[in-house]
Structure 1
Amino acid sequence: MDEIQKSVKTCLNKYADFNGRAARPEFWWFVLFWIVVLAVTGLVSKYLYAIAALALVVPGLAVGARRLHDTGKSGWYQLIGLIPLVGGLVVLYLMAQQGEPAANRWGSPPDTAPMSSAVAPGQQ
């Protein structure tokens, strides 16, 4: 549960930050959050749904760009999703790829260590 909260907080804190890299868990937990929020708001009101969708589109694009950066590709590859029928599948494939283990032109690899394995300072 902590990993989900950390991923969503990171994406919302980096609301319009298209620089850097995002690991697979960060991206996919945010996508799940996005789907749940839209499903719940859609059940409540179409106006609330529209507000939520508009509020989450920028962080969704930003984390998508950072996810593609982690795989060594430009964030502009998200535009492939606009191609009817196959575009969405291609973008889904690109987002599911493993990130580059070494630093690339968008920065060093994101920290993907599980939160439970983190050791607090002074507790070694």
Structure 2
Amino acid sequence: MTHNPYAAPQAELGLAPEPAGTPRLPAWNGRIGRLQFMAYCLLGVAATALYVVLGVVLLEVLGMLMDEHGALRPRATQGLNVSTLLLFGLAIVTAVRRRLHDFDVSGWWTLLLLLPLFQFVFLIYLVVAPGTPAANRFGPPAAPASMRVKAVLAFGCLLLGWLIARRFL
């Protein structure tokens, strides 16, 4: 038998096939389903709110939030606003990118979020449209939503509904 350097390798890799995609929260790649997408967006909102509260408390403790006359210092609040926007933006972009991977579409379509008139329709489509049922170039299909994801989503929707009702009723 002669050695052919251009032949396909014959060795077994010994890797077990990965089951349906088990979603990991801080992952940039992979696929997520509709319920995971909504839960991740709610977790992004909650993380951003917690970050704002902790940031305001930290600025107050350090004495950087108010000046000697009791007025807000613009530099401190601007820094907090910019960092909050970046944190929330990263959370949403990551969730949208992974949801687009479920459609077998490139993550570059996330740039549609930059079009203000199209954002709402685009996000509704991501929540309503089903992903590809089989494995695609971005991995195996997303695993069905676990009970924990459903509980986070239910609690988040109830809390959001309560906050909206409290504000307007």
- TM-score (normalizing by structure 2): 0.50
Distance 2:107 2:88 in 1: 17
1:88 aligns with 2:98: no
Equivalences for residues 1-124 of structure 1 within 5 A = 10-12=24-26, 14=27, 17=28, 19-42=29-52, 45=56, 46=77, 50-85=82-117, 87-96=118-127, 97-112=129-144, 114-115=146-147
Residue type of the partner of 1:72? D
Note the residue ranges of structure 1 that are not aligned, 5 or more in a row: 1-5, 117-124
1:70–1:100 contact (8 Å) kept in structure 2: yes
2:52–2:84 contact (8 Å) kept in structure 1: no
Distance 1:83 1:56 in 2: 17
Identity over aligned residues, as a percent? 32
Distance 1:54 1:68 in 2: 21
2:41–2:91 contact (8 Å) kept in structure 1: no
Residue type of the partner of 1:104? N
Instruction: Report SS of the residue matched to 2:104.
Output: coil
The number of residues matched between the two structures is 104
2:31–2:98 contact (8 Å) kept in structure 1: yes
Distance 2:97 2:32 in 1: 8
Task: Give the equivalent residue in structure 2 for 1:121.
Answer: none
1:68–1:94 contact (8 Å) kept in structure 2: no
Instruction: Report SS of the residue matched to 2:37.
Output: helix
- TM-score (normalizing by structure 1): 0.64
Higher helix share: 1
1:46-99 Cα distance to aligned partner (Å, 9 max, x none):
4556444434533432221111110222211111121232x1023213311111
Residue type of the partner of 2:40? F
Task: Give the equivalent residue in structure 1 for 2:14.
Answer: none
- What is the CA RMSD across the aligned residues, in angstroms? 2.8
Task: Give the equivalent residue in structure 2 for 1:3.
Answer: none
Which one has more relative contact order, counting CA pairs under 8 Å at least 6 apart?
A: 2
